[in-house]
Amino acid sequence: MTTSEYIPDVAPGSIHHGVRCEDVQRLTFADGAFDLCTSTEVFEHVVDDHAGFVQVRRVLRPGGRFIFTVPLSGAMHTVERVRVLDGRLTHLLEPEYHGDPFSRSKQVLCMRNYGTDIVERLHDAGFSRVELTRPASAMMHCARTVVVARR
Protein backbone atom coordinates (compact mmCIF):
# COMPACT_ATOMS: atom_id res chain seq x y z
CA MET A 1 0.00 0.00 0.00
CA THR A 2 1.21 3.48 -0.86
CA THR A 3 -0.22 6.71 0.49
CA SER A 4 0.56 10.29 -0.41
CA GLU A 5 -0.45 13.83 0.38
CA TYR A 6 -0.18 17.03 -1.66
CA ILE A 7 2.02 19.54 0.10
CA PRO A 8 2.67 22.77 -1.81
CA ASP A 9 6.32 23.61 -2.41
CA VAL A 10 7.43 20.01 -1.84
CA ALA A 11 8.74 18.15 -4.90
CA PRO A 12 6.41 15.38 -6.10
CA GLY A 13 7.76 11.94 -5.26
CA SER A 14 9.79 13.15 -2.29
CA ILE A 15 9.29 12.30 1.38
CA HIS A 16 8.48 15.16 3.74
CA HIS A 17 8.29 14.40 7.47
CA GLY A 18 7.67 10.75 6.66
CA VAL A 19 4.91 11.46 4.13
CA ARG A 20 5.26 10.81 0.41
CA CYS A 21 4.31 13.94 -1.51
CA GLU A 22 2.49 13.75 -4.85
CA ASP A 23 0.66 16.17 -7.11
CA VAL A 24 -2.19 14.23 -8.74
CA GLN A 25 -1.80 16.41 -11.86
CA ARG A 26 1.72 14.97 -12.39
CA LEU A 27 2.15 11.71 -10.50
CA THR A 28 5.65 10.26 -10.26
CA PHE A 29 4.51 6.62 -10.16
CA ALA A 30 5.20 4.29 -13.10
CA ASP A 31 2.53 3.45 -15.64
CA GLY A 32 0.31 0.59 -14.45
CA ALA A 33 1.73 0.63 -10.91
CA PHE A 34 -1.57 0.00 -9.09
CA ASP A 35 -4.69 -2.14 -9.20
CA LEU A 36 -6.60 0.38 -7.10
CA CYS A 37 -6.36 4.12 -6.42
CA THR A 38 -8.54 5.93 -3.92
CA SER A 39 -9.09 9.49 -2.84
CA THR A 40 -11.47 11.19 -0.47
CA GLU A 41 -12.69 14.74 -1.05
CA VAL A 42 -9.68 15.75 -3.18
CA PHE A 43 -10.57 16.43 -6.81
CA GLU A 44 -12.79 19.44 -6.16
CA HIS A 45 -9.56 21.16 -5.05
CA VAL A 46 -7.35 20.13 -8.00
CA VAL A 47 -6.67 22.99 -10.40
CA ASP A 48 -6.71 20.77 -13.52
CA ASP A 49 -8.91 17.83 -12.59
CA HIS A 50 -8.77 16.43 -16.14
CA ALA A 51 -4.97 16.13 -15.86
CA GLY A 52 -5.42 14.47 -12.47
CA PHE A 53 -7.93 11.95 -13.80
CA VAL A 54 -5.62 11.15 -16.74
CA GLN A 55 -2.72 10.62 -14.33
CA VAL A 56 -4.72 8.30 -12.09
CA ARG A 57 -5.79 6.29 -15.14
CA ARG A 58 -2.16 6.12 -16.29
CA VAL A 59 -0.92 4.61 -13.01
CA LEU A 60 -3.69 1.98 -12.95
CA ARG A 61 -3.17 -1.43 -14.49
CA PRO A 62 -5.69 -2.51 -17.17
CA GLY A 63 -8.95 -3.27 -15.37
CA GLY A 64 -7.79 -1.29 -12.32
CA ARG A 65 -10.25 0.84 -10.41
CA PHE A 66 -10.31 4.38 -9.12
CA ILE A 67 -12.70 4.65 -6.18
CA PHE A 68 -13.23 8.09 -4.72
CA THR A 69 -15.56 10.66 -3.27
CA VAL A 70 -16.12 14.32 -4.03
CA PRO A 71 -19.02 16.51 -2.99
CA LEU A 72 -21.70 16.02 -5.66
CA SER A 73 -24.22 18.82 -5.89
CA GLY A 74 -26.99 16.72 -7.43
CA ALA A 75 -27.04 19.05 -10.45
CA MET A 76 -26.44 17.68 -13.93
CA HIS A 77 -23.50 19.96 -14.70
CA THR A 78 -20.31 20.73 -12.83
CA VAL A 79 -19.94 24.39 -11.89
CA GLU A 80 -16.42 25.74 -12.30
CA ARG A 81 -15.77 28.22 -9.50
CA VAL A 82 -12.21 29.17 -10.46
CA ARG A 83 -10.21 29.27 -13.71
CA VAL A 84 -6.54 29.72 -14.36
CA LEU A 85 -5.98 32.62 -16.75
CA ASP A 86 -2.44 33.72 -17.64
CA GLY A 87 -1.09 31.55 -14.83
CA ARG A 88 -3.29 33.17 -12.16
CA LEU A 89 -6.43 32.00 -10.42
CA THR A 90 -9.51 33.94 -11.45
CA HIS A 91 -12.63 33.51 -9.36
CA LEU A 92 -15.82 33.04 -11.33
CA LEU A 93 -17.92 32.80 -8.18
CA GLU A 94 -17.55 33.80 -4.55
CA PRO A 95 -14.59 31.78 -3.17
CA GLU A 96 -15.56 28.61 -1.33
CA TYR A 97 -13.16 26.91 1.08
CA HIS A 98 -13.24 23.49 2.69
CA GLY A 99 -11.54 22.50 5.92
CA ASP A 100 -8.14 20.82 5.53
CA PRO A 101 -6.19 19.85 8.64
CA PHE A 102 -3.03 19.33 6.54
CA SER A 103 -2.82 22.81 5.04
CA ARG A 104 -1.11 25.70 6.78
CA SER A 105 -4.31 27.77 6.71
CA LYS A 106 -6.49 24.76 7.67
CA GLN A 107 -8.65 25.42 4.61
CA VAL A 108 -8.34 24.80 0.88
CA LEU A 109 -9.97 26.50 -2.11
CA CYS A 110 -12.78 24.64 -3.87
CA MET A 111 -12.20 24.84 -7.63
CA ARG A 112 -15.54 23.37 -8.70
CA ASN A 113 -18.82 21.89 -7.55
CA TYR A 114 -19.28 18.57 -9.33
CA GLY A 115 -22.51 17.51 -10.95
CA THR A 116 -23.47 14.11 -12.30
CA ASP A 117 -21.50 14.96 -15.46
CA ILE A 118 -18.44 13.77 -13.51
CA VAL A 119 -19.20 10.47 -15.27
CA GLU A 120 -18.54 12.08 -18.67
CA ARG A 121 -15.48 13.89 -17.32
CA LEU A 122 -13.98 10.53 -16.33
CA HIS A 123 -14.87 8.99 -19.70
CA ASP A 124 -13.12 11.97 -21.35
CA ALA A 125 -10.03 11.11 -19.28
CA GLY A 126 -10.06 7.59 -20.70
CA PHE A 127 -11.90 5.53 -18.10
CA SER A 128 -13.99 2.79 -19.69
CA ARG A 129 -16.74 2.39 -17.12
CA VAL A 130 -17.92 4.81 -14.44
CA GLU A 131 -20.61 4.31 -11.80
CA LEU A 132 -22.02 6.51 -9.07
CA THR A 133 -23.07 4.42 -6.09
CA ARG A 134 -24.55 5.35 -2.77
CA PRO A 135 -24.13 3.21 0.36
CA ALA A 136 -27.30 1.34 1.35
CA SER A 137 -27.21 2.74 4.86
CA ALA A 138 -25.97 6.02 6.21
CA MET A 139 -23.55 5.64 9.09
CA MET A 140 -24.17 8.45 11.55
CA HIS A 141 -26.60 10.00 9.01
CA CYS A 142 -23.82 10.52 6.45
CA ALA A 143 -23.62 8.63 3.18
CA ARG A 144 -21.51 10.20 0.43
CA THR A 145 -21.97 8.99 -3.15
CA VAL A 146 -18.93 6.97 -4.22
CA VAL A 147 -17.51 7.20 -7.74
CA VAL A 148 -16.09 3.97 -9.18
CA ALA A 149 -14.15 4.32 -12.43
CA ARG A 150 -12.54 1.42 -14.24
CA ARG A 151 -9.51 1.67 -16.52
State the greatest distance between any 2 C-alpha atoms of the chain, in Å, as a whole number. Answer: 46
| Cα 44 from Cα 114, distance rounded (Å) | 7
pLDDT at 144: 85
| Cα 50 from Cα 55, distance rounded (Å) | 9
Amino acid identity for residue 117 in this structure: D
- Evaluate whether 145 touches 119 at the Cβ level (below 8 Å): no
Q: In the chain, which stretches have pLDDT less than 50?
A: none
Pairing state of beta strands 60-69 and 34-40? parallel
Chain-centroid distance, C-alpha 108: 13
pLDDT at 101: 72
Which pTM was predicted? Answer: 0.92
| Superfamily for domain range 31-150 | Vaccinia Virus protein VP39 (3.40.50.150)
